[in-house]
Structure 1
């Protein structure tokens, strides 16, 4: 299956590339450096492995400079690299079309706005282009070349634990192998949807895993196709279950690549991890994960806090030290789940709906609708059975609990299940993470008829419940 996807992607790349204008290498201006682009001829014959490094700091946020180990000892170059500052190392992944990644500058600048650091961008576009299985053969050699540069930086005063690698897709496994070469002593690795094909069944020596750094985290957004489906870090964030992302079903690529409409869908999911991480750097709203055995259990309201696993402090996507995790020792391959929206800043409020039902004579289906002024309604259908009396569901809300105006219940299964009136002992809503049972807002003794929905309006004041 992985090879089939690689073949389809390669064919698509040829069609798209052939329809574009074949050019020469992108030549950087004298003032600013840029990542590479392969020519059509190079792409067709398989790119050579060639690695260069670009450096951005707060003194040159808009104008990258080419960086090498010689830059450190050459007084004529006056490199802005500061060994007393932490360093962020960005590593892109497979380049299906042989083009430079467009998101790198945005990510680099986001990191610089958030912290005063050195940002090193690893440009291996030439070696990352062509057929995926051929590109995978290059990733360890790229890691070896990066390790040589890191060793040189250490001799000039940098601390190994001050390096934070941010690897995208295949770049996550490059980062992991760099960590392996340094015995897991580098400070941090963030894997943004680490590549899945040819890696899911690989030995931990050959892929990203928690032993590669003092702290390893991963964000999963396409684990059913291009991303890996297994946890690979100390903590693994699975956004919307790690698969289908909100707003990706109708990708802009789908309307352009009419013969391969699913391509845009796959890439949208895969790249969502990058855009969510960039958004998290702004720290405009928390992207908080909840530990849970599975996504289904999370959606069914079985995991409402972080008390047992993280002693009450839920991990967050972003630059908080160890993602905000304070427990020691660190967890190992801990899966955490969260819902996100379709566009930046992607964060939502997790609203838990709890329905306690009197004994049912027959199975039923109830639609729950939450409303807040000026925002689309949130809907979820719950199937109820005769053997259970408590039902829970987690819903994504654009507003906090205190701004939800009403809840509506509708007996949508009355015809199919021939269910009569339903009696609810209580209908409660609360916001996660929930610290106390009293955080819930409840309505008691609710009767839901077969043909008439029930609704209740809330008048809540933020901070008063």
Structure 2
């Protein structure tokens, strides 16, 4: 991102805060992203940066902030309202000849959630050339309160948002990084990438930290979905295009955040030192550092009320493969009697009308208590039955397996639901065991 772009945004901020009051007719043509081809890029015949404004008064037809506004000739849109909060959406790297996906859906979801100004930044010319040049150049020479601005940056746009926050000395209200870009940023100093010092509250959603996203925490709170790497549903080859297949994990952050704004269900994270520790059932509360209130994606400041804010706090959660992506976190705990040799079991949670959840566990001779967190599409009180099978190899399979108990519970345990427990279970070779539950939510 060039210094010229940063200056443009600063001038834009000054202009739009004094723009309210001129109620001229809205533009006849809806503004849209540049869709530049290589020849046009070389000729430089299009705007290098554009700003689209969407409000509840023009949610289906974006207005364009022109360069005239930046030159203070007052040719501004009549829709901007400086008394309302402002969300600024910044897309990331995109190939020439393409438009950033998901930006319109995100803007509309924001407007459904709250009455505000949504500014969408189109910086195609500097975001569409070679990726390494974008990274090297994005900060070189080329009336509203700061607290009311919330930047939402996808991929490289997350770091652009962070640099804007640096220019404002960390006084922007909020920055949300949607899978902040990783290549060439993983070893960068905090000044050269998104960091918690860039705004009063910085959050990040990580979905592709082993490829296009960054693997380190960069905000006050960092949500690592499914460990922050491989996302459910992104391994299928029936996606719309090879580009969609390659970027599926990376773009999932945008899809999940947009879906979370609809509030159809909660996407709750649990603070933990690692994803492995979380799956092992060692991080099932949010007492430290959130005093019992687990952070959620999409809420104001992620629902975090603690003071001072945590820093670079990693939280983990599981999701489903499709919108709204919400999964119920189920803790499975079992105690097994001493074994002659190791054994393999498969535990299945069954809810009529929903996909089954299968959980495979390896039981060792020297362990007795096992815990595992898994994702289930229905809440605990709607689980109809649980089934357990002894699945070891035929000739090396453990004989009968004795369980002192098998308990399943939902985390976080905020609604007072007691765990579902079954005691004194014997599972023989090749004979599945199951138990039905009759509950009322």
The TM-score with structure 2 as length reference comes to 0.89
- Deviation of the 1:103 alpha carbon: 1.3
Which deviates further from its counterpart, 338-347 or 242-251? 242-251
Question: How far is 1:130 from its partner?
Answer: 2.2
* Pairwise CA distance, 1:426: 0.6
Q: What is the correspondence of 1:143-222 to structure 2 with a 5 Å cutoff?
A: 157-222=143-208
- CA deviation vs aligned residue, 1:151-175 (integer Å, no higher than 9, x gap): xxxxxx1000110000000000000
Q: Name 1:133's counterpart in structure 2.
A: 132
SS of the residue corresponding to residue 375 of structure 2 reads strand
Deviating more after overlay: 130-139 vs 403-412: 130-139
Aligned 1:339-378 pairs, distance under 5 A:
339-378=318-357
Judged with a 3 Å threshold, the aligned counterparts in structure 2 of structure 1 residues 417 and 129 are, in CA distance, closer, same or farther, namely same
Deviation at 1:460, TM superposition (A): 1.1
Deviation string 1:358-413 (CA, Å, 9 cap, x unpaired) is 12221111111111102221101111112211111112111111111111111112
Kindly tell me: are residues 289 and 351 of structure 1, through their superposed partners in 2, closer, same or farther at Cα, counting changes over 3 Å? same
Give the Cα–Cα distance (whole angstroms) in 2 for the partners of residues 434 and 238 of structure 1.
Answer: 21
The 1:244/1:433 distance shift into structure 2, 3 A limit, reads same
State the 1:418 CA deviation: 3.4
RMSD: 2.2
Contact 1:222–1:266 (CA<8 Å) still a contact in 2?
A: no
Cα deviation for residue 125 of structure 1 reads: 0.8
Mapped to 1, the partners of 2:37 and 2:127 lie a distance apart of 13
Measure, in 2, the Cα distance between the counterparts of 1:362 and 1:246: 34
Q: Secondary structure at the match of 1:309?
A: coil
* Distance (whole Å) between structure 2 residues aligned to residue 30 and residue 315 of structure 1: 43
Evaluate the alpha carbon distance shift between residue 47 and residue 137 of structure 1 in structure 2; reply closer, same or farther with a 3 A threshold: farther
- Structure 1 counterpart of 2:401: 422
Q: Deviations over 1:84-130 (max 9, x none)?
A: 11100000000024422131111111111111111111110111112
Select between 127-136 and 182-191 the one with higher mean Cα deviation: 127-136
Quick one: which of 252, 268, 273 aligns to 2:248?
Answer: 268
> What is the deviation of 1:54?
0.9
For residues 174 and 337 of structure 1, what CA distance do their matches in structure 2 show? 25
Task: Note if 1:394 corresponds to 2:392.
Answer: no
Q: Distance in 1 between matches of 2:45 and 2:386?
A: 57
Larger fraction in helix: 1
Q: 1:309 aligned to 280, 286, 289, which one?
A: 289
Relative to structure 1, is the Cα distance of residues 74 and 47 closer, same or farther in structure 2, using a 3 angstrom cutoff? closer
1:81 paired with 2:61, answer no
Corresponding residue for 1:16? Answer: none
Match of 2:105 in 1: 106
CA–CA distance in structure 2, aligned partners of residues 289 and 395 of structure 1: 13
Quote the offset at 1:327 in angstroms.
1.4
Give 1:148's aligned residue: none
SS at match of 1:279: helix
Structure 1 length-normalised TM: 0.84
| Pairwise CA distance, 1:44 | 7.5
Alignment map for 1:111-126 (pairs within 5 Å):
111-126=110-125
Measure the CA separation in 2 of the matches of 1:43 and 1:440: 61
Alignment match, 1:286: 266
Structure 2: which 5+ runs fail to align?
1-26
1:92–1:169: 8 Å Cα contact kept in structure 2? Answer: yes
List per-residue Cα deviations over 1:138-159 (Å, max 9, x = no partner). Answer: 3225xx99xxxxxxxxxxx100
Q: What CA distance in whole angstroms lies between the structure 2 residues aligned with 1:61 and 1:89?
A: 15
Contact preservation (8 Å) 2:65, 2:77: no
Aligned length: 414
Q: Distance in 2 between matches of 1:130 and 1:322?
A: 34
Mapping for residues 24-39 of structure 1, pairs under 5 Å: 30-39=28-37
SS for the counterpart of 2:288 is helix
In structure 1, C-alpha distance between the alignment counterparts of 2:39 and 2:376, rounded to whole Å = 50
Structure 1 counterpart of 2:20 = none
Provide, for residues 25-48 of structure 1, a one-character-per-residue CA deviation record: whole Å limited to 9, x for no partner: xxxx84211111111324579999
Residues 47, 234 of structure 1: alpha-carbon distance in 2 compared, 3 angstrom cutoff: farther
Q: What is the rounded CA distance, in whole Å, between the counterparts of 1:307 and 1:230 in structure 2?
A: 23
**2-side partners of 1:313 and 1:300: how far apart?**
21
**1:62 paired to 2:60:** yes
Structure 1 residue 251, shift from structure 2 partner:
4.6
Q: Which moved more, 1:55-64 or 1:186-195?
A: 55-64
1:182-216 CA-partner distances (Å, limit 9, x unpaired): 11110000000000000001001000011111100
Q: Shift of residue 280 of structure 1?
A: 0.6
Conserved in 1, the CA contact under 8 Å of 2:37 and 2:96?
Answer: no
Q: What's the secondary structure of 1:140's corresponding residue?
A: coil
